[in-house]
Chain A
């Protein structure tokens, strides 16, 4: 029960922040895909930087465990391409579609119906996908520090410096 309450409160705060930053709108999402407005990229990269430091810190302190997904090249590449195609058509991603509906964007409702349908179709295709796409390029659970063979506290600052340069460049270009 408390887990459900945590979910509701966390979602509420997240939805509040997403709406305040104006990042759940179709115009902002398509703006990013059309390289016209990088607001959502700024939001996401800042989130990633904070989350990356925080979660690795929790792990090092023994307070949390990383949730690492398997790197299977076939489904990741094909799934990523399909997701991008669908995202461009819908203009909302799964989480933000709920927020967009909250802002009064009725078209997000049709997107949510589509996504529930897509999930149902995926469940139908799953046994076949397991025999085919999921066997293509299974590399197991990987992280960047692991692949490079270095400590994560070497990778994290390098990533942050790279992101800061990218964000500064975007600001200079007025994006």
Chain B
């Protein structure tokens, strides 16, 4: 296997596909992530004003709370953390290498662009129901 212990994308991708099929068979759940961001936003807004959240159409459709998919996304965080620590590839980094080569060490600029990108990407993902 090439470059510092990385698994072939064909092997890992194939296993991920198998995992997806098993999930449908055993839990009846298809992989997804973006709905969990809606539930998280709803849970935060509930802290500020539960009455308002209860009246919002989208939070009636996507009820704020922890479900299978929310735990799935949390699991991705844990699985990646364990794999990174076990293989010595965990690296605290505020600016990705490719960004650094192009824009230099600019963590604040990177944070602003990442945040803005996140806003736009999630709005688009929800709109397309992806």
Let me know if B13 and A45 touch, CB within 8 A: yes
Contact among B21, B59, B80, B111 with A103 in the assembled complex (CB-CB below 8 Å): B80
**Dominant SS among interface residues on chain A:** helix
Q: Per-position contact with A for B40-67: 1 when CB-CB < 8 Å, else 0?
A: 1110110000000000111100000011
In which size bucket is the chain A interface? 35 or more
When C-beta atoms are compared, the residue in chain B nearest to A39 turns out to be B9
A144 interfacial by beta-carbon distance below 8 Å: no
Partner of A123, one of B16, B59, B67, B118: B59
B104 at the interface (CB under 8 A from A): no
CA distance A24 to B93 in the complex (A): 14
By the criterion CB–CB under 8 Å, are A116 and B44 in contact?
yes
Chain B contacts with A in 1-33, Cβ cutoff 8 A: 3, 6-21, 23-33
Q: Are A120 and B41 in contact (CB under 8 A)?
A: yes
Given the known A-B contacts A4-B71, A103-B81, are A79 and B120 also in contact in the complex, defined by CB atoms under 8 Å? Answer: no
CB-nearest residue of chain B to A7: B71
A133 to B124, CA, bound (A): 12
Closest to A59 in B: B24
Which of A16, A42, A63 has most B Cβ within 10 Å?
A: A16
